[in-house]
């Protein structure tokens, strides 16, 4: 299986001057949230949002 996280660096707040800070916030949030997820299985997917709650990407589990 493969865990894939994709973020559009031109979307939402990631397109602004604070791109690195916003990307860091997204990565920290989801890294911390992963321990609360049920066991990951192929086909699992979830959207990623910036601090304005704009969808800027997603993660997924592939076979």
Q: Kindly provide the b/e burial profile for residues 23-39, where b requires at least 16 CB atoms within 10 angstroms of the residue's own CB.
A: beebeeebeeeeeeeee
Predicted pLDDT at 8: 98
Span 12-24, mean pLDDT?
A: 95
Structure tokens at 41: 């299985």
Could you list the residue range(s) of the whole structural domain that residue 33 is in? 2-62
| Percentage of the chain lying above the pLDDT 90 cut | 84
Nearest by Cα to 60 from 37, 10, 52: 37
Indicate whether 37 pLDDT > 90. no
Q: What is the pTM of this model?
A: 0.83
Q: Which residue has the tokens 């589990």?
A: 61
Number of domains in the chain: 1
pLDDT band at 33 (very low <50, low <70, confident <90, very high): confident
């Amino acid at each position: 299986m493969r865990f894939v996280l994709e973020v559009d660096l031109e979307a939402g707040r990631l397109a602004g001057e604070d791109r690195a800070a916003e990307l860091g916030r997204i990565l920290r949030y989801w890294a911390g949230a992963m321990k609360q997820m049920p066991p990951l299985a192929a086909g699992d997917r979830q959207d990623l949002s910036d601090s304005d709650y704009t969808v800027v990407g997603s993660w997924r589990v592939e076979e």
